[in-house]
Amino acid sequence: MVWWRSIFAVLLGSLLCGAAFPQAAAAQPAPPPALRAAVPLLCTENSGAARTRVRGSGVIADSGGTLLTAAHVILEARSNCTLSVMVPDEEWIHAGRLRAFLLGDCHLSQPLDLAVCRIHPAESSRDWGYLRAARIRLRPATPGEPVWVTAFTGWGLLPLTRSGHITGRQNYQRKDGCRCDFATDITAVEGMSGSPVISSEGEVLGILTLAGNGKFRGLSFGVSFEEARSFLTAEGVIAWGGFVDRENSEARMLEARTSEAPALDPMRLTLERIQSCVTTGSCRVLPAWLMNVGVIA
């Protein structure tokens, strides 16, 4: 069986990234804590190997199951992957277990490179209680404003935080026809597409959608929720009067709970295999300390 290799790689990447944090902290001021509403977007291949890796990042907009991410992450993975997100059971710094949520319906705005997706628990309806919504900001980004991002990259499931500033506030036309309306001096790498850009007040003002290259190397670009107001309003994420608080949105939860996952969903099969492996004690390929990190429980 090869399915365990994918999970082992994801877990090992998380642990190695975590081991590097203290060294980085000694060389520079401690970064802000990771935003709990930020989540890794995973791609599980629709093949026999069913390998899983981080494909991008996203942010939970309400506890009824609305996810905001970059549209190109959805488009590039849709044909050959089952997409899911992993939600922590508490703040990322204290998280003991991750809860899997499957992506359902997604509506895309390709000119803005923004996607609104509905997610639902892969295992238990009780996992709805672990969703925490970000505070959405509709005011535009201001040049010089300090910001930070929470992102997930490579094979790891631990969040990466990076701090910087808004360096520009104008429309940037991309070669693919998409546009961005702000730039930051935060260097972006693979997996950071869809990462929430967070103000010093803890409000999410937009997401990253593009890493700069050439003369723009070292910069990253994104779309603000103020720029995407019309699209987000049409999708019911915000109202013209401001952000729609769906903390107790029973209608949205019922809608998401009744949506059915594919009959042979690779992520569900992987979760079932892990659960069986742990229950029977047959996970001999994984060290005991790795089985206890909580992700595979």
The full set of domains in the chain, from first to last, is: 3-133+247-291 (2.40.10.10), 146-243 (2.40.10.10)
Average pLDDT value for the chain: 75
Rg of the chain over Cα atoms, rounded to whole angstroms, equals 19
Q: What is the pLDDT of residue 297?
A: 24
Q: What is the pLDDT of residue 155?
A: 58
pLDDT tens string 273-289: 444 444 444 433 333 32
Residues 204, 210, 214, 215, CA torsion sign:
negative
Q: What is the pLDDT of residue 210?
A: 86
One-letter amino acid for residue 65 of the chain: G
pLDDT tens string 170-217: 777 777 667 888 999 998 888 889 999 999 999 999 999 988 777 778
Distances 34 to 93, 197, 209, 220, 232 between C-alpha atoms, Å:
7, 11, 19, 19, 24
pLDDT tens string 210-222: 887 777 788 889 9
pLDDT tens string 63-106: 899 999 999 999 887 777 889 999 999 999 888 899 999 999 99
Q: What is the pLDDT of residue 258?
A: 42
Q: What is the mean pLDDT of residues 248-266?
A: 43
Q: What is the pLDDT of residue 190?
A: 80
Percent of the chain with pLDDT over 90: 45
Percent of the chain with pLDDT over 70: 67
Between CA 270 and CA 82 the distance in angstroms is 11
Q: What is the pLDDT of residue 179?
A: 81
Q: Are 64 and 57 in contact (CB under 8 A)?
A: no
pLDDT-based confidence at 57, cuts 50/70/90? very high
Collect contacts of 94-98 with beta carbons under 8 A, ≥24 apart. Answer: 95/294, 96/294, 97/294, 97/295, 97/297, 98/157, 98/294, 98/295
